[in-house]
Amino acid sequence: MKRVEVLVATKNAKKLSEIKELLKGLPVKLTSLADYPRAPRIIENGDTFADNAGKKALKIAAFSGKLTVGEDSGLCVDALRGAPGVRSARFSGSGKDDEANNRKLLRLLKGVKPPDRGAGYVCAVAIADKDGMLAIVEGTCRGRIASQPAGSSGFGYDPLFLIPRYAKTFAQLGEKVKHTMSHRYRALKKAAPVLKRYIELNCKQSNRKSRIE
């Protein structure tokens, strides 16, 4: 089957790399906003992860005419009433500074005992083409916020996101294990059949058109 371009509406190279790994079984060529420097700016002001993911997918699909994946994800901490939530990337300011975000999170949770440091990563994935939205799906992963960063793999809050059954953070577990349980893995697992059906349908239509011509 011919590989189809799927534009991922992100400039985050680490996130793109992770999405490529998780979708590697599909006949797709993943590109990103780094390949489309004239793409419109997207203001992520939605109330939910799904709102932001949908906005990204629709706006970039309309601009590019390409099958587009919009993704938004973040951390929701129980003791902080769901914060940082949709503000996860900018928790400490507008600079999207992972280390500063982690420091702020630890500061806010100072004195909170381990059993009360429950948290969940959430990922919303939206799929759209030039004609509109195709699907929005979500995946979650529960864990706990560690008392200090540990590990060097991953990005974002991974050095603090502890998986109790392993007694290790995502950053310690590494990509091989993380990619079997993460919020992004679970969301993309739901999104993959949608992408696959869309690609198969469009390939059939293209073949039919070629035979007619």
Catalytic residues: 72
Burial class (CB in 10 A: 0-12, 13-18, 19+), 91: buried
**Neighbour count for residue 43 (Cβ, 10 Å):** 9
Q: Which helix (H) or strand (E) holds 75?
A: strand 67-77
124 touches 71 (CB < 8 A)? yes
Which token pair is 73? 């994800």
Which token pair is 101? 């975000």
